[in-house]
Amino acid sequence: MTLDYELLPRPEDCVVFVIDDDGSVAEAFRRFLARMGYAARAFVSPTEALSELTPDVRLLVVDNQMPEMTGLELVERALETNPEVRFIVVTGAGDEAAAQGALRLGATDYLTKPTEFADLARAVQRALMDQAFSEFRRAKNAWLEEEVERKTAEVRSVSLATLTALLNALESRIPEFKGHSQRVAECGEAIARELGVGEEEIEAIHTAGLLHDIGMISVGDAIVGKRGDLDERERQSIEGHCRRGADILDPLVHLGNARTYVLEHHERLNGSGYPDRKRGAEISLGGQIVGLAEAWVAITEERPFRDAMPPDSAMATLSGASGVWFSEQLLGALRAVVLGSEGTVAPVN
């Protein structure tokens, strides 16, 4: 984004207030600025000028020594109403305190009396050019923020879509696994909503549900679809998918806590889970929710080595692990979601 000089304000669009208690000086400045094309107005009363101040006033040319209030006092009050207004303070010769005060307030220039019209013209042009560049910088920053947000959204969309497509390909290896990750994501989100979890966490839980098995990419088809018991090497290969999945997601910081939930979704309250044998509160709520959702979906799906379990039987099986693998609070939320329980579930703080 570059500054288009044709977009700089035209003189006739620049409202300039000239404030000087000497009416002849104020009128002389006004006429000179009007000849330059500016929409100039003259005031002998600072109070009147302040009452007329609007956001479209771009510049104040103020005499500092006025009986009603000083020019610096007028500028301070004007900035409260219109923070973007530029100002030039006209001081008496040798009035260093006023000049320094003007600069501290942000004046682009200060002029000394008697003031030459040529000096006034250059000061006005500098002030309005400074204002135009300031407006351009704000517009550019806003544009950059929009671009960053747009690019971030694109990255999120592309990365999640790519990983989801990869998971779909993985699930297609074993017909019974088709749609598994989507069902885990939907179940995890439903449990989280039943618990009153915040929207940001719900999004992370849904994402983790979609991606919880991404680490299975390195597990062979023979192991995934094996009908008999796994040997030690095969078991370790399966258990390693949580950490491999977290490693795959590690660079994708925009996924928030989803990486942690993928890592923890096979941890269990009594420390019997994997990969880190975490216990109780060591396991994040999101990790517990995704773990319970995955367990529910898994036992209610067909597998090469067993039939799907009916919902009532599946719920009874998981309830048998209450306080051991899963908390009763989460099981209550799952029960309400999948069986339509009328029992209430305490929201999670």
Q: Minimal CA–CA distance to 32: which of 21, 40, 43?
A: 40
Kindly write down the DSSP assignment for every residue of 137-184, as one continuous string: HHHHHHHHHHHHHHHHHHHHHHHHHHHHHHHHHHHTTSGGGTTHHHHH
Please, are residues 21 and 63 in contact by the beta-carbon 8 Å criterion?
yes
Ranges of residues in the chain whose predicted pLDDT is under 70:
1-11, 93-94, 136, 140, 143-144, 147-176, 218-228, 304-305, 341-349
**Would you state the pLDDT for residue 155?**
52
Structure confidence at residue 1 (pLDDT): 44
Q: Is 78 helix (H, G, I), strand (E, B) or coil?
A: helix
User: What pLDDT sits at residue 56?
Assistant: 86
Per-residue model confidence (pLDDT) at position 300: 93
Q: What are the percentages of helix, strand and coil residues in the chain, rounded to 5?
A: 60, 10, 30
CA distance 335 to 345: 10
Strands 109-112 and 57-63: unpaired
Element holding 199 (H helix, E strand): helix 199-211
- Residues sharing a CB contact under 8 Å with residue 99, sequence separation 6 or more, in sequence order: 89, 91, 110
- Rounded Cα distance between 257 and 313, Å, is 32
Distance (Å, whole) CA 278 – CA 270: 8
Cα 60 to Cα 17: distance, rounded to the nearest angstrom: 5
Question: How far apart are alpha carbons 304 and 307 in whole angstroms?
Answer: 8
What is the model's pLDDT at position 342?
Answer: 43
Q: What is residue 9's three-state secondary structure?
A: coil
Q: If we measure between CA atoms, which residue out of 282, 228, 285, 244 comes closest to residue 261?
A: 285
Separation of alpha carbons 131 and 129, rounded Å:
5
For residue range 136-185, list pLDDT tens digits in order.
Answer: 677 767 766 776 666 556 555 556 666 666 666 666 666 667 788 899 99
Tell me how far apart the alpha carbons of residues 66 and 70 are, in angstroms, rounded to a whole number. 5
Please report which helix (H) or strand (E) contains residue 186, including its range: helix 180-194
What pLDDT does 162 receive?
Answer: 66
pLDDT of residue 348: 47
Query: Would strands 57-63 and 86-91 be described as parallel, antiparallel, or unpaired?
Result: parallel
Predicted pLDDT of residue 232: 78
pLDDT at 174: 60
CB contact at 8 A, 301 and 223: no
* pLDDT of 335: 95
Check residue 222 and give its pLDDT: 62
The bridge status of strand 15-19 relative to strand 39-43 is parallel
**Burial bucket for residue 334 (CB in 10 Å: 0-12, 13-18, 19+):** buried
User: pTM score, two decimals?
Assistant: 0.53
